[in-house]
Amino acid sequence: MKNKIRLVLTFAIAILSLGYLNAQDNKKDQSLTLAEFESKLYKEGAKAQIIDARSLEEYQQNHLVGAISLNASDDAEFQKQVVRLKKDKPVFVYSIGNGRSNALKKKLQANGFSEVYELPGGFSNWVGSGKKVVSSTSNGLTLDEYKKLIKSDNLVLVDIGSKYCGACKRLAPIVDSVAGNHPKDLKVVKIEFFENKQLGVDLNINSLPTLILYKDDKIVWQKNGVSSKDQIEKEILSAQTKSASLK
């Protein structure tokens, strides 16, 4: 009886240990740096299985070299495409941030793919870091053109985002509302990130959306992600107060 209990306990410990090791492996995959992701990707070379989890329109505009387009939300298309991939080879997935790519990663793992790497920070991080992409668009505004665009005697709020980005869409009406409150003392400039890739590199933009508040051509506030109207108004008031105190 004691031997049986001992055997059951040994088996249970083994199972728990295996689960822990798998969790550690998954954690490692999820915490890759951009440099580590890029290194693994290029190590595979032409054999790399790279999947773009964004829409076909986004893919056609800009994508990683060698990537294929695969929308995880379309089950029929997913099953059609997934049979072409090799389960014993690493797969590299990405989307704008990590929303759609994370969903695709989980779907691939559920279908037996044991080694799936997600681009940390998403495609916006890749583009903003100046990495190579296949593109059908120009580089857009130069840094000099941008500097002329934000030139103003008033505060300037720059909204850098994308029409494809969910968080950017949530931020857009908030920025519009703030602009409506400051018709005479605030200039708002909106930049489509993926149509101005070099500018994203020059401004060191690696996440969408990004808000930048300028006063006299100098950055007084910058924030990634969706900001509330109250937060933006607070930063505008702070910049105006500091400016008035210097006069």
Q: What is the pLDDT of residue 77?
A: 84
pLDDT digits 0-9 by tens, 133-142 = 999 998 899 9
Rg (CA), the chain: 23
Q: How far apart are CA 115 and CA 100, in angstroms?
A: 18
The answer to whether the CB of 169 falls within 8 A of the CB of 94 is no
Statement: residue 210 has pLDDT above 90: yes
What is the residue whose two structure tokens read 């779907």?
Answer: 107
The active-site residue, picked from 48, 119, 127, 168, is 168
The active-site residue, picked from 48, 165, 203, 232, is 165
Strand partners, 156: 187, 214
Distance in angstroms between the alpha carbons of the first and the last residue of the chain = 88
Statement: residue 212 has pLDDT above 90: yes
Confidence class for position 6, pLDDT limits 50, 70, 90: low
pLDDT digits 0-9 by tens, 36-52 = 999 999 999 988 999 99
Q: What is the pLDDT of residue 26?
A: 45
Give per-residue burial for 157-178: e unless 16+ CB within 10 Å, then b: bbbbbbebbebbeebbebbeeb
Statement: residue 11 has pLDDT above 60: no
For 163, residues 6+ apart whose C-beta sits below 8 A from its C-beta are: 169, 192
| Closest CA relative to residue 89, chosen from 133, 46, 119, 31 | 46
pLDDT digits 0-9 by tens, 122-131 = 999 999 999 9
> Could you give all domains of the chain from N- to C-terminal order, each with its CATH number?
32-135 (3.40.250.10), 143-245 (3.40.30.10)
Order of strands across the sheet that contains 186-192: 186-192, 155-161, 210-215, 218-224
Q: How far apart are CA 127 and CA 124, in angstroms?
A: 5
Is 168 part of the annotated catalytic residue set? yes
Confidence class for position 247, pLDDT limits 50, 70, 90: low
Lowest mean pLDDT among 12-21, 59-68, 97-106, 207-216: 12-21
Statement: residue 64 has pLDDT above 70: yes
Q: How far apart are CA 224 and CA 206, in angstroms?
A: 9
Q: Is 134 helix (H, G, I), strand (E, B) or coil?
A: strand
Q: Which helix (H) or strand (E) holds 243?
A: helix 229-245
Q: What is the pLDDT of residue 19?
A: 47
pLDDT digits 0-9 by tens, 160-207 = 999 999 999 999 999 999 999 999 999 999 999 999 999 999 999 999
Average pLDDT over residues 71-87: 88
Q: How far apart are CA 109 and CA 25, in angstroms?
A: 13
Average pLDDT over residues 76-86: 90
